[in-house]
Structures are given as structure tokens and as C-alpha cells.
Amino acid sequence: MASSSFTSYNVHLPTDVIPTAETKIKLADRILVSPLVLGTWAWGDTRVWNWNEELNGKAKEAFDVSMSKGINTFDTAEIYGHGESERCIARYKSTENAEDIVIATKFLPYPYRLAYPSSLLNALRASLERLQVQCVDLYQIHGPIHLRSIQVLADALAEAVKLGLTKTVGVSNYSTDEMIKMYDCLQKHGIQLASNQVEYSLLRRLPETSGHIAECHKRGIAVLGYSPLAMGRLTGKYSKSNPVPSGRMFSDVNMDELEPLLETMRRIADKHHVSVSSVALNYVICKGVIPLGGARDGKQAEQNAGALGWRLTNDEIIELEAHPITPRSGFWNRFWQHG
């Protein structure tokens, strides 16, 4: 990275550290990421997020605002908008900031992808072309839906590192046992598993309560938390009378149960002069997880950035966790989310 005026921490922030724009977290002892990552699932996605050309300009604003606030890490995937999310990042970055940008993308191991390492390497090269880069910072297995063994996937990831196509490798939605298996397989190649990306928020604390986060940290594996805003449910924007749009399958809860939690979040947000979204993201950071907060325009990016520069107190965390929430888990969640 071009700037040297930052302090870095390994895998996650210590419990007494306030996250700032100058704070960086080290993954696999190779890359430095911001304590808050911009998730780009919505960019280019027409099915869930109703992408259109007007939103292209707004997403560029989200990119620029994030960069100006020190949020220089972007998480995408080949499947997001069928590659359009990756193309967006390529369009939005400039020659002036290209060296400062950290890019994480993902490989979707469709069951019909059976020829490894070629299936993974060909997909990665296609992502690099869309991103207009020679190498990504983090390449992740998108979900545990592959028919080939974890050893086979690990060998393919190791080959990607050895070929210089990615600096580090990670997984997503892996269970604790699957994560440990991938870690052990990569260790045979002398490669550190950088991360496991799982859904984590105030509405889905399972990775914490199950001990999964602790097991990751024990092995030097960062935990990236997707849907930290519960697909909009933790922004304060939605209610029982104004429900979340259909199709947002993660973090589905009864809105009657959610309202008391949102009231507590609003009170804490007012106290710290930040948005409700900022409280949700700061909570995730306080739990040793790197949140992937989505932003579709400059205002949302500004609200996300409000998670930096302060830290919830222990008493406030206890208040937030005092509200019982019953998540709804359908077949898709159980099939996709092992972690």
C-alpha cells in the first residue's frame, strides 16, 4: 500500500482498539485490509437488488466516498451480477488510487465444475480480466457446494497462489470442521488460510455462539462477516408496516421481534452521533469480525463509515444482545451456510 501512516493488527482488532481510517488488519501475514470492507453484491445485480444504469452512478459515489474514508477493501464475486460487480470495480478505480485498493473476489464451485485445478484457475483468470488486474488480494471459495473434496479445492487454491494470480486464499460459509480441513490441507503447501466469510450480525450470532469465530482466530484465520446490516433490516429503514423487499433471504426475522432491538440501536446511535447502520457495523467489529457492509450510494457509504472512530462500550453491547431474536432458516440457508 502507498500509505504508511497506519497501525496494523493480525486477523482482528484487539478489544481495546478503536477502529479508524488508519487502522489495518493483516490477513495471512500478506495483505492489509480496512477494518470495514465494502461489500459489492448489489452492484450489477438485477434479481435481488434491481440494478439499473442510474444505480451505476450512485455506486461510483459509494466507491469514492468509501475510499475517501479509508475503506479501501472491496469484496466481490464472479456471480455478483454475472461478473458486472467486478466490472464496476474496474470502472470505478483510477490510476491514482489503483495501488491502494484491496480486492477480494470469489469462485463459485458449481457441482458441475469437476476439473481441478483448471476450473478454478480459468474462473480466476476471467475475474482478473473483468477486474483489469494481474492479481487479486484474496480469492475465496464462495460456498461448500463442491462435489470434489476439500483437498482437491485446497490444491487448486495453492496453485493459484503459486502462479501469482492471488496473494491469499479464503473460504466462505464453511463449517468449523470444513474450515479446519481446508486450513490443514493448505498448510501442506505452506500456505495460510486467510479467511472464512460467514453471515454474522446482531440477528445471526451463530458463528460466535458456536465457537466458530474463536476456532478461526486460534489458527490465524480472519472472519469476514457478510450481511452485517441483515440485508437492510438493521439500518432502521424497515418495519412491520414497511417490510424488506422480497428476495432478501439472509437474516430473515419477525419484524415484531426486531423493533425493540432497533429502538435500542437508535438510542445508542443518537448518543454517539452516528447512524443505526454505524451501530450495527461497529458491533460486528467489536466481536472480532471484519464486516462487509454493502453500499449502493454515497449516503449509505457515509453511514457505513460512521462505524469508524469510536467503539461500543461493554454495557452497550450487553444492551444490544439483550433482545431475543428468532432467525428464520429455510432450506437455502441450511444448504449454503455451514458456518
10 within 8 A of 218, measured Cβ to Cβ: no
Contact (Cβ atoms closer than 8 angstroms) between residue 7 and residue 22: yes
Instruction: Compute, in degrees rounded to 10, the torsion defined by CA atoms 149, 154, 159, 165.
Output: 120
C-alpha cell at 210: 458456536
> Which positions ≥6 away from 300 have C-beta within 8 Å?
62, 277, 294
* Peptide linkage before 35 cis (omega within 30 of 0): no
What does the alpha-carbon distance between residue 91 and residue 71 come to, in Å, rounded to a whole number? Answer: 18
Whether residue 27 contacts residue 168, with contact meaning beta carbons closer than 8 Å, is answered with yes
Three-state SS for 199-210 is: ECECCECHHHHC
DSSP string, 264-297: HHHHHHHHHT--HHHHHHHHHHHTT-EEEEE-SS
CA angle 167, 175, 48 (to 5 degrees): 75
How far apart CA 284 and CA 288 sit, in angstroms, is 7
Pairing of strands 23-27, 37-39: unpaired
- SS3 for 216-261 is HHHCCCEEEEECCCHHHCCCCCCCCCCCCCCCCCCCCCCHHHHHHH
| Residues marked as catalytic | 80
Conformational region of residue 320, where left means phi above 0, alpha means psi within -120 to 50, and beta covers everything else: alpha
